Amino acid sequence: MNNNQKPRCLLKANAIKQLPEQTVCHPLNPNSEISGVSLSEQVGMQRIGFHLVKIPPGKESFIYHSHEFEEEFVYILSGRGIAEIDGVEFEVTTGDFMGFPTPSVGHHLKNPFDENLVYVMGGERREMEIADFPHLKKRMFRNRKQAQITDWDKLEDF
């Protein structure tokens, strides 16, 4: 392989800058708006997600949640935000790292400031996951690509 060819596993900085951003919003949070690119998908990774994302001013990441099986992390590249972790709010800024081993405590990011909050987020992509949304008292079950959600008071012991 010569220097002009690159393996699929290498994504050069100029190519990353050219990738079209996607914007996603969490269906249970009307203030959710997160834009960015999935670098892991660009190189064919299936078991780990690695995403370069931003939250615009006045918006939030997804929704306060916890994971049963999938570990997750966040590393702040620029800007400031408010991280709610296990029910307590902390200001986070450039260089701060958050890691959520499983079963994880609840966590969520908001950007009440006047500049973009830019960060890398990543984690596992297991075939099955259970996530709780404690503020809404709901639980999500995901098996492969299909997900269902229910209220906590509708769960029954088996």
Q: Domains in the chain, start-ordered, CATH in brackets?
A: 20-127 (2.60.120.10)
Chain segment 18-34, per-residue pLDDT in tens: 999 999 999 999 999 99
In Å, what is the CA distance from 5 to each residue of 1, 41, 43, 69, 76? 6, 20, 15, 38, 32
Residue type, 143: N
Query: Which element (helix H / strand E) includes 14?
Result: helix 13-18
Q: How far apart are CA 71 and CA 79, in angstroms?
A: 24
Dmax (CA) for the chain in angstroms is: 61
Q: Report pTM.
A: 0.90
Chain segment 23-69, per-residue pLDDT in tens: 999 999 999 999 999 999 999 999 999 999 999 999 999 999 999 99
